[in-house]
Structure 1
């Protein structure tokens, strides 16, 4: 896969899957824009790890809809056009229906959908407007195996990712005539910095048992699938959802 002369915007690109994706695109010759919400130090650290020159960071909270148009505008001003958008930014809030009060419940749903679905819809809208003008592009959305198997402790997360899948496939149909191709990756639990901090030993052990590989996904493995969907020659996979969960959840 060669992305020389391609421009890529990765939301939530300073850590975890987003960071691995930004690094992978840069290694393949792309000019990369890293979007992040608040941690400037982490974003600058990731920027310094990117191979090649001309990469930039963009601080915007894309859960606020006005920031999505501004982010695309800023990116296009910096790079000339947007060839590839990776909608990776997402949040996850625990809200077990039998354990939380109603305020916590509604807050979890509103915040989760604002970031995991509405921001992706808004980013896709503004990116596609630009891509239509330049003759096409690619959008890759990061979903989750939770969109298929359910998330009993975080139902809003599972629901937001299921909605993202449906939206992605709708856009794949609508945008194909404009040479804009949509792909989705649905990772299982991934070995990120956040996982290392938040998982208890017992939780980690349970997760390891879910996959016959007896391990979690590495961020680089998810990034590999993202790069495939964004690559030249993958056009006819538009609308595809690729599972990256180590056979921990198999769907028909």
Structure 2
């Protein structure tokens, strides 16, 4: 999909590798300047930055589970880029915690970490970015990375599925709230896609079973998801505000 260069300022959270890196590259390739956020993987984030086309890109580190740090990340991106025209909420945690075999303290900690990063940080970065857009009178876009798991259930990762469902709902609420300011908000709900974090699961019998979930007999690439994010953030996509776009290769339909 060929979209015109926009020269906008883009903040991508959780961009040290995987989908975040692919999203950064997609925006940089069309002439946008990108703030590459990372939590703890500074060296990998540096590699993301070095791989970006063009100039004017910056690194912004910070622990998004801390509300003060989330505000600082957004504010640093605003200062470095002169504002945020596009926010991509990609940062997330996803650790296994099946209820039958998880102790209460571990269960509690899992829910707290998923809620603080997957949901609360998404809300806080959205607040900061939207207020910057409104203050400048600039139309903008917020794109949230949700998940197929919000619909089909995540028995080993219930807090992940629940927080991603909440992210979808948050995006729809903000789409209505922010439309009068020219700000579009949408989400994507990817199925399984190939990244460094899950590469070990795509080998052997488990990998065969995962690929068989889709009638295409494969999983997505991060670049396929990133292309959809780029379109949802484009000036042409205003009418898609409020959308939750399924990107799962027909592995789950509803």
Fold equivalence (TM over 0.5): yes
CA distance in 2, matches of 1:197, 1:76: 37
Native 8 Å contact 1:3 1:231 kept in 2:
no
Moved more, 3-12 or 124-133: 3-12
Aligned to 2:36: 34
What is the 5 A alignment of 1:7-22? 7-22=9-24
Q: Could you list the per-position Cα deviations for residues 220-246 of structure 1 after superposition, in whole angstroms to 9, with x for gaps in the alignment?
A: 000011001000111011000111111
1:188-243 deviation digits (Å, cap 9, x = unpaired)? 01100111135552221111110011111100000011001000111011000111
> RMSD of aligned C-alpha atoms?
1.0
Residue 154 of structure 1: which of 137, 153, 157 is its match?
Answer: 157
Report SS of the residue matched to 1:170. helix
Equivalent residue for 1:234, pick from 229, 232, 237: 237
Aligned length: 251
Match of 2:25 among 20, 23, 26: 23
Of 189, 192, 203, the residue aligned with 2:192 is 189
Q: Which residue of 2 aligns with 1:141?
A: 144
- Determine the C-alpha separation between the residues in 2 that align with 1:77 and 1:71: 10
TM-score (norm 2): 0.96
Unaligned runs of 5+ in 1: none
Gaps of 5+ in 2: none
Partners of 1:59 and 1:106 in 2: CA distance: 26
Q: Which residue of 1 aligns with 2:74?
A: 72
Instruction: Map 1:81-100; keep pairs closer than 5 Å.
Output: 81-100=83-102
Q: Distance in 2 between matches of 1:156 and 1:83?
A: 30
SS of match in other structure, 2:125: helix
Q: Given that residues 3 and 25 in structure 1 are in contact (C-alpha distance below 8 angstroms), is that contact kept between their aligned partners in structure 2?
A: no
- The alignment partner of 1:140 has SS state of strand
| Partner SS for 2:99 | coil
Query: What SS does the aligned partner of 2:193 have?
Result: coil
Is residue 107 of structure 2 the alignment partner of residue 105 of structure 1?
Answer: yes
Q: TM-score, normalised by structure 1?
A: 0.97
8 Å Cα contact 2:145-2:189 kept in structure 1: yes
CA displacement at 1:134 relative to structure 2: 1.7
Distance 1:103 1:201 in 2: 34
Runs of 4 or more above 3 Å deviation: 197-200
